[in-house]
Amino acid sequence: MQEVNMSEYTELTAKIEALEKRVKYLEDTFATLADMNKSGEMAQYIAQRQRALVASKLVNAAAGTQKLNADVQQQVLDQLAAEKAAMDARIEEAIRASEQNAPAEDDLAEQFTYREVPGGVEIQGFNGFETGDELLLPQKINGKPVVGIGKEAFAKMTFKKVILPEEIHYIGINAFWECKQLAVANLPESLKELCFGCFSGTGLRQIKIPSKCKEIPEKCFKDCKQLQTVVLNDGLERIKREAFNDSGLCNIIIPDSMKKIEMAVFDYHDFRNAKDLNIAILGKDTEFELMPFRPSSCTTIYCLAGSKVQNQARLKGIPVKPLSEFKNV
């Protein structure tokens, strides 16, 4: 083994520090690449990074003893330099490919039919090809925000997830009607209005109603048989007829802002499909148009003593329990 003098050691230390910074940069870059959905490339990248890390540790270990064979030192540094150059090229190539493959706003807009409305644009339909499981709606068209989705715009389509624009204000009549495979839909906080049957017959499993919505319209989530979790916003005032008719709900909490729940909201057309449903009503003045369409044995209402709902439920023969006993499971 050849002794390394102090000047050589200082130079080597500087190289090691540079290499360590480079390794940190590569680790950060890989975290970014993981979000680019480049799964086919990642295995090669990771293998290269592991080799670079092993080589870096070898240099550190050798430097710690202040002894290093000159040939081994150069070999390690040359290997790392080659690895860095190759990885730089592949990373740049992956980034360029990702940027090229990402749909531009204009290209995305071309897949939809639309019209101008007050405040922006309403998407009225889809004229592209149904490829993949995700429907990504543009934020803007011709520089104007997408604020609405029109009547039956995406009815009976087969995608599994929809990503709505962040400035959307309304979802039109039957907009996603009978999209049986649609399991995931984000409802942005900008959303103010849901229209008749807009998600009826979909495969949604859960949904959260945004804070600006004041009512859930008629048949909004009717026949959503996979729907098990619904979070209603504090500020919601009305749920209209058959909004959750024939759904998969087992538990639901009604906020104290609720003024009225209309007829047959939670009922079943076929009693044989009825599931046990627990309804917790937080408000004392909420009016509930209870009708005996659902077997009373399948429904339990949890409410405050002396509330309107308590009296209505007892008149209809529906079991009533104290609100404190409700368990949202």
CA distance 260 to 280: 14
Whether 65 has a pLDDT exceeding 50, the answer reads no
Q: What is the dihedral of CA 31, 35, 36, 37, to 10 degrees?
A: 110
DSSP 1-53: -PBPPHHHHHHHHHHHHHHHHHHHHHHHHHHHHHTTT-HHHHHHHHHHHHHHH
Q: Kindly report, residue by residue over 281-308, the tens digit of the pLDDT.
A: 999 999 998 764 454 457 889 999 999 9
CA distance 195 to 209: 13
Q: Which of 323, 279, 322 is nearest to 298 (CA)?
A: 279
| Bridge partners, 231 (sequence order) | 208
Count of C-beta atoms within a 10 Å radius of residue 47: 10
Tokens 């047959």, located at residue: 264
Domain 107-325: CATH class, spelled out: alpha beta
Q: Which of 159, 41, 140 is nearest to 90 (CA)?
A: 41
Task: Kindly state the helix (H) or strand (E) to which residue 58 belongs, with its residue range.
Answer: helix 39-64
Whether 257 has a pLDDT exceeding 80, the answer reads yes
Residue 64 burial (C-beta neighbours within 10 Å; 0-12, 13-18, 19+) = exposed
Whether 268 has a pLDDT exceeding 80, the answer reads no
Q: What is the pLDDT of residue 31?
A: 59
Q: Kindly report, residue by residue over 103-146, the tens digit of the pLDDT.
A: 556 567 788 999 999 999 999 999 876 667 899 999 999 999 99
Q: Kindly report, residue by residue over 208-251, the tens digit of the pLDDT.
A: 999 999 999 999 999 999 999 999 999 999 999 999 998 988 89
pTM: 0.67
Q: Which residue ranges make up each domain of the chain?
A: 6-101, 107-325
Cα distance from N-terminal residue to C-terminal residue, the chain:
70
The pair of three-digit structure tokens given for residue 18, joined into one six-digit string: 């540079």
Q: Kindly report, residue by residue over 138-182, the tens digit of the pLDDT.
A: 999 999 999 999 999 999 999 999 999 999 999 999 999 999 999
